[in-house]
C-alpha cells in the first residue's frame, strides 16, 4: 500500500510543471478560438501528441502510479488551461478506461493504443453508454447485442446519445444489452474497431460549454464485430449471465457503472482545474481593479468571496486526492469517489459564477475567460453521474440501503 502524502514526489512535480507550461503556452491562448469554432481542435491535440501528453503510454503510466495522484494532478493542470480543449485531450481516456476496466490484458494491449494513434496520426476513442432514454438510468439501455454463433460475430443495433468523440472516433466502445431482462447485469461492452460498417454519427450537439469537445449521437445499424471484440471474452460473459439468472437481483455491477466509479476523481479534477483558473484570474483582477479610490479586494464583500472560493477549491483537491489514493489503495468504502466529483463540480459552478461577479462587466464578456469557464464548469454537475446521482451513491454507501 502506498503512503498517502500531500507532498507530490519528483515525478509528479515534473509532470505538473510540464503540463502547466503546455496549458499556459498552447492551450489557454487558443481557448477562445476553439470555443467559438465549436469543433474538435485537432491541431492542438496533435501538439499534445507530439510532446507525449496525448497518448496511451502517458495514460498507462499515470494510471499505474501507486499513489493514484499523478492522474488528478495532470488533469487539474490541463483543465486549468481550458476545459473544452482539455476534454478533447482527455475524451479518449474514457474509452481506454472502459477497455482497461472490462477487457483482458490482450484486449487492453490491442485496443487502447488504437484509441490514441501516434504523433503522426492522432486517433480518438469514444465510450458509448448513454442513450436518448437512458442517461442516469444506465440499466435500461436499449442498444442490443446479439451473438451470431455461426460467424462468431456480435451484431449491435441502437442509438447512443451525447457521446464525446462520437462518430469521429476511430475506436468506439459500446455498452449494449445482451439480455435486457437482466437490466444492468445483462449488459456487456464491445469494441467497434476502426472502419467497421454500420456505425455512423447522428446529430452533432451544439452545447452550452466545453465546445471544443465534440459531442454527438452514434447510430449502430447492424454493426457486426468479431467475437474477440467482446470485452472480457464470451466465457466470462456467459458465466456472469448464468450467475445473474440464478441469483435474480444480485448486486453485481454493470460494466458502465464500474467505469464511471473509477473515473470519478478524474472528473472532479477537471472541475478543480476550471475553478482554480477562474479563482486566479479573479484574485489578480481584484487586486488591480480600482473602484471608489481603492482596489476592490479591499472590500470584505470581494475579499470574502475570494476566501470562500479558495477554501472550496482546496477542500475539493483534498477530496479528489483522497479518492484517487483510496481507489488505488483498498477501494472506496463510503462514496469517496462520488463525494470528490460532486463537491468539486458544484464548487466549479459556484466559483466561476463568483469570478464573473468579481470581474463585473468585463467578466460577462468573452475576453476575460471566466464566462467561458462558467459555461464549461456546468457540464461537470451533469456528465458521468449528475450531482443527484452522486448524492444517491453516497447515501446508499453510508446507509447500506437502496435509497431511491
Ligand X SMILES: Cc1cc2nc3c(=O)[nH]c(=O)nc-3n(C[C@H](O)[C@H](O)[C@H](O)COP(=O)(O)OP(=O)(O)OC[C@H]3O[C@@H](n4cnc5c(N)ncnc54)[C@H](O)[C@@H]3O)c2cc1C
CB neighbours of residue 194 within 10 Å: 13
Which of 271, 389, 393, 394 binds ligand X (CB under 6 A)? It is 389
Shortest distance in whole angstroms from residue 57 CB to ligand X:
22
Q: Per CB under 6 A, which region of 46-54, 122-130, 238-246, 314-322 contacts ligand X?
A: 122-130
Q: Does 102 bind ligand X (CB under 6 A)?
A: no
- For the annotated catalytic residues, the residue numbers are 384
Cell numbers linked to 288: 488591480
Residue with cell 454463433: 149
8 A C-beta contact, residue 163 and residue 215:
yes
Could you say whether residue 168 binds ligand X (CB under 6 A)?
no
Between residues 102 and 326, which has the closer beta carbon with respect to ligand X? 102
Which C-beta is closer to ligand X: that of 11 or that of 388?
A: 388
**Which residues 208-247 are close enough to bind ligand X by CB under 6 A?**
210, 215
Give whichever of 94 and 237 is closer to ligand X, judged by the CB atom: 94
383: left (phi over 0), alpha (psi -120 to 50) or beta: beta
Using the rule CB under 6 A, which residue among 382, 395, 396, 397 binds ligand X? 382
Do the Cβ atoms of 275 and 349 come closer than 8 Å?
A: no
Nearer to ligand X, 32 or 382 (CB): 382
Residues with Cβ within 8 Å of residue 239, at least 6 apart in sequence: none
Residue with smaller CB distance to ligand X, 129 or 286: 129
Check residue 392 for interaction with ligand X (CB under 6 A).
Answer: yes
- Give CA–CA dist 259/264, Å, rounded: 9
Which one of 379, 380, 393, 394 is in contact with ligand X (CB under 6 A)?
Answer: 379
Which of 193, 329, 386, 395 binds ligand X (CB under 6 A)? It is 386
Query: Whole-number minimum distance, CB 99 to ligand X, in Å?
Result: 14
Instruction: Give the span between the Cα atoms of 49 and 387, in whole angstroms.
Output: 33
Distance CA 87, CA 211 (A): 9
Among 107, 164, 263, 338, binds ligand X (CB under 6 A): 164
For the chain, the C-alpha Rg in angstroms (whole number) is 21
Site for ligand X in 7-66 (CB under 6 A): none
Report in angstroms the alpha-carbon separations of 282 from 25, 305, 344, 353.
20, 10, 18, 11
List 67, 130, 143, 316, residue binding ligand X (CB under 6 A): 130
Nearest to 276 by CA among 365, 351, 201, 164: 351
Cβ-based nearer residue to ligand X, 328 or 375: 375
Which residue in the shown chain puts its C-beta closest to ligand X? 135
Q: Does 349 bind ligand X (CB under 6 A)?
A: no
CB-CB contact of 350 with 315 (8 Å): no
Nearer to ligand X, 269 or 358 (CB): 269
With CB under 6 A as the contact rule, which of the stretches 133-141, 288-296, 321-329, 345-353 interacts with ligand X?
133-141
CB of 198 to ligand X, least distance (A): 19
Determine the straight-line distance between the first and last CA of the chain, rounded to whole angstroms. 35
- Minimal distance in Å, beta carbon 254 to ligand X? 12
Position 316 contacts ligand X (CB under 6 A): no
98 contact partners, CB below 8 Å, separation of at least 6: 127, 173, 175, 189, 231, 255, 256, 259
Return the range that interacts with ligand X (CB under 6 A); candidates 146-154, 177-185, 219-227, 388-396: 388-396
Of 49, 163, 229, 320, the residue at the interface with ligand X (CB under 6 A) is: 163
Binding of residue 174 to ligand X (CB under 6 A): no
Classify burial at 94, counting beta carbons within 10 Å of its beta carbon; exposed 0-12, middle 13-18, buried 19 or more: buried
- Whole-angstrom distance, CA of residue 28 vs CA of residue 78: 10
* Interface with ligand X, residue 141, by CB under 6 A: no
Residue with cell 503556452: 25
In the complex, the residues that contact ligand X under the rule CB under 6 A are 94, 127-130, 135-137, 162-164, 207, 210, 215, 379, 382-384, 386, 388-389, 392
Amino acid at each position: 500500500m502506498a503512503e498517502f502524502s500531500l507532498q507530490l514526489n519528483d515525478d509528479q512535480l515534473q509532470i505538473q510543471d510540464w503540463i502547466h507550461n503546455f496549458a499556459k503556452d498552447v492551450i489557454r491562448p487558443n481557448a477562445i478560438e476553439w470555443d467559438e469554432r465549436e469543433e474538435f481542435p485537432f491541431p492542438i491535440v496533435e501538439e499534445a501528441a507530439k510532446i507525449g501528453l496525448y497518448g496511451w503510454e502517458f495514460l498507462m503510466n499515470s494510471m499505474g502510479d501507486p499513489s493514484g495522484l499523478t492522474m488528478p494532478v495532470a488533469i487539474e493542470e490541463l483543465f486549468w488551461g481550458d476545459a473544452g480543449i482539455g476534454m478533447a485531450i482527455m475524451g479518449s481516456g474514457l474509452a481506454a478506461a472502459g477497455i482497461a476496466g472490462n477487457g483482458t490484458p490482450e484486449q487492453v494491449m490491442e485496443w487502447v493504443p488504437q484509441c490514441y494513434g501516434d504523433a503522426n496520426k492522432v486517433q480518438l476513442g469514444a465510450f458509448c453508454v448513454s442513450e436518448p432514454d437512458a442517461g442516469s438510468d444506465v440499466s435500461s439501455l436499449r442498444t442490443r447485442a446479439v451473438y451470431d454463433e455461426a460467424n462468431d460475430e456480435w451484431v449491435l443495433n441502437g442509438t447512443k446519445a451525447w457521446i464525446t468523440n462520437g462518430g469521429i472516433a476511430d475506436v468506439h466502445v459500446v455498452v449494449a444489452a445482451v439480455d435486457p431482462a437482466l437490466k444492468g447485469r445483462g449488459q456487456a461492452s464491445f469494441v467497434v474497431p476502426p472502419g467497421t460498417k454500420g456505425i455512423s454519427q447522428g446529430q452533432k450537439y451544439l452545447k452550452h460549454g466545453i465546445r471544443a469537445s465534440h459531442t454527438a449521437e452514434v447510430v449502430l445499424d447492424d454493426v457486426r464485430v468479431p467475437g474477440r471484440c467482446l470485452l472480457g471474452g464470451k466465457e466470462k460473459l456467459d458465466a456472469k449471465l448464468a450467475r445473474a439468472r440464478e441469483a435474480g437481483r444480485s448486486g453485481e455491477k454493470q460494466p458502465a457503472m464500474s467505469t464511471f466509479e473509477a473515473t470519478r476523481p478524474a472528473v472532479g479534477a477537471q472541475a478543480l482545474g476550471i475553478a482554480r483558473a477562474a479563482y486566479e484570474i479573479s484574485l489578480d483582477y481584484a487586486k488591480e481593479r480600482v473602484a471608489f479610490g481603492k482596489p476592490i479586494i479591499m472590500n470584505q464583500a470581494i475579499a470574502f468571496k475570494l476566501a470562500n472560493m479558495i477554501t472550496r477549491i482546496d477542500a475539493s483537491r483534498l477530496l479528489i486526492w483522497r479518492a484517487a489514493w483510496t481507489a488505488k489503495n483498498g477501494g472506496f468504502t463510503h462514496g469517496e469517489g462520488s463525494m470528490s466529483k460532486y463537491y468539486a463540480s458544484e464548487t466549479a459552478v459556484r466559483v466561476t459564477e463568483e469570478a464573473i461577479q468579481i470581474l463585473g462587466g468585463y467578466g460577462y464578456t468573452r475576453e476575460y475567460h471566466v464566462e467561458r469557464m462558467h459555461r464549461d464548469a456546468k457540464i461537470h454537475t451533469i456528465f458521468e453521474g449528475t450531482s443527484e446521482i452522486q448524492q444517491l451513491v453516497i447515501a446508499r454507501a453510508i446507509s447500506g440501503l437502496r435509497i431511491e
